[in-house]
Amino acid sequence: MKNRILIKDLKNYISKEVIVAGAVDLRRDHGKLIFIDLRDHTGIVQMVVNKKNEAVYNLLDPAKPEWNLKIKALVKSRSEQTINPNILNGDLEIEALDAEILGQASELPFEKQTAEISLETYLDYLPFTLRTEKAKAIFRIQAQIAKSFREFLNQEGFLEIQAPKIIGEDAEGGANSFSLEYFGHLAHLAQSPQFYKQIMVGVFERVFAIGNVYRAEPHSTTRHINEYTSLDLEIGFIEDHLELMELETKLLIKIMKDLQENNTSDFALLNASLPIVSEKIPFLKLREAQELIKKETGEDCTNEPDLEPAHERWLCEYAKKNLDSEFIFITHYPLSKRPMYTYEDENDPGMTKSFDLLFRGIEITTGGQRVHDYDKLITAIKNKNLDPEKFSYYLQAFKYGMPPHGGLAIGLERITAKLVNAENIREATLFPRDLHRIDNLLSKEKKENNK
């Protein structure tokens, strides 16, 4: 819109006539005087509609919350008695001189500002509920995390790549894939960009990808969704997994620093606090962690191949109290729990040079060194009872030479959820896809039929 002044800049136009545009956030009607809080993407300002100006009063009298308006207005400083020190632009207001209704809105399903709503209702009305200040703060923080990830890796000489989401085989093992019909053939949605980022290490040595991944697991928890955003990176010529952990530590320091600089008001609004990332995030081998749990709690999980959610939470509490860190790496998961490309530690047979990063109770990263030797990889595939023939396309990268390499992936929604104190990962996902929902509840259809 030409000549439009943004609300955050109005303070520079005191006593001047300006064009502003935005949505009605709230309306306070005093009869011959109406106050309308006008909102654009930069802020909120109080607009005064005075009945003395009959023409504009009649135009704006019907305006309800979420109506979009274009206003010709006079910017004014507020008199001392009417200054509100608690809000943005509390020392100024605009007086409507002329108005154009750009768009109307239906009656709202509930009040945006004061609503304490259930998660189900929140998700049912996302096109509306995402307009709340709380939701906006969460997704500004999420955008900053992705931006910082991108900036850091660009600085470190990584190249951003776009990995395909449609794949032929889903035989990677582990998580189930969604299958789809592809011109008469069976195809799948990618559970990760893993194979492609590894292939690209042979091309560019350092690559990263930000994209959606798909998991066809019918789980129903506060930390799982079936489509999520993976912050993936892969790097060549590493000595071991510890180098990856150092890289991730530097990355996290950068992300937290940027959030501190750019999102303090968002964190304040969410009543959330940033974690301190130490220069050296503590790490334990899985077996050491399990011995610690046994020693401290008496619960014996030392023969388990993985950590239970409750133990992940316990380890995070332990690290916070005793190691002065809200992050903790757990390394050396057994080969049996890791995919076929995971590198076995020569000094700890049966265990892998892989790691999980735990943060505020849940796993936000899995990473590790990969097998780069062609013959060893073939053996590893066979050891998982998989058919190397099915991986022949991917295996070309190794056949034609690969450096020692490794990588990691951060679950964007998980780290966001934990940073903003969201109880459920769905609050940190713009449009969550889960067992019960693609936008609308999938059971709605069923429900109708059963009436």
- Minimum distance from CB of 47 to RNA (Å)? 10
Question: Is residue 84 at the binding interface for RNA, with CB under 7 A as the rule?
Answer: yes
Side chain identity at residue 181, one-letter code: E
Question: Is residue 450 at the binding interface for RNA, with CB under 7 A as the rule?
Answer: yes
The DSSP string of 285-327 is EHHHHHHHHHHHH----TT-SS--HHHHHHHHHHHHHHSS-SE
- Which is closer to RNA, CB of 309 or CB of 403? 309
Stretch that binds RNA, among 143-151, 213-221, 249-257, 290-298 (CB under 7 A): 213-221
> How many Cβ atoms from other residues are within 10 Å of residue 221's Cβ?
12
Write out the two tokens for 224: 């799982």
Side chain identity at residue 445, one-letter code: E
Instruction: Round to whole Å and give the CA distance between 333 and 352.
Output: 6
- Which is closer to RNA, CB of 48 or CB of 293? 48
Question: Is residue 172 at the binding interface for RNA, with CB under 7 A as the rule?
Answer: yes
Instruction: Round to whole Å and give the CA distance between 329 and 333.
Output: 11
- Which is closer to RNA, CB of 213 or CB of 381? 213
- Cross-strand partners of 4: 19
Site for RNA in 235-294 (CB under 7 A): none
- Minimum distance from CB of 172 to RNA (Å)? 5
Question: Is residue 213 at the binding interface for RNA, with CB under 7 A as the rule?
Answer: yes
How many residues make contact with RNA (CB under 7 A)? 78
Centroid of chain to Cα 133: 17
Site for RNA in 35-74 (CB under 7 A): 35, 37, 46, 48, 50-52, 64-65
Which residue among 39, 206, 215, 433 contacts RNA (CB under 7 A)? 215
Best CA proximity match to 142, nearest among 294, 9, 258:
258
Stretch that binds RNA, among 82-90, 140-148, 255-263, 371-379 (CB under 7 A): 82-90
Which residue among 339, 404, 406, 407 contacts RNA (CB under 7 A)? 339
- Minimum distance from CB of 197 to RNA (Å)? 10
CA-based radius of gyration for the chain? 27
**Taking a C-beta distance cutoff of 8 angstroms, is the pair 282, 242 a contact?**
no
Binding marks (x or -) toward RNA, 1..40, rule CB under 7 A? -------------------------xxxxxxxx-x-x---
Best CA proximity match to 220, nearest among 424, 36, 419, 76:
424
Best CA proximity match to 76, nearest among 42, 101, 50, 51:
50
Binding marks (x or -) toward RNA, 105..144, rule CB under 7 A? --xxxxx-xxxxxxxxx-----------------------
Question: Is residue 338 at the binding interface for RNA, with CB under 7 A as the rule?
Answer: yes
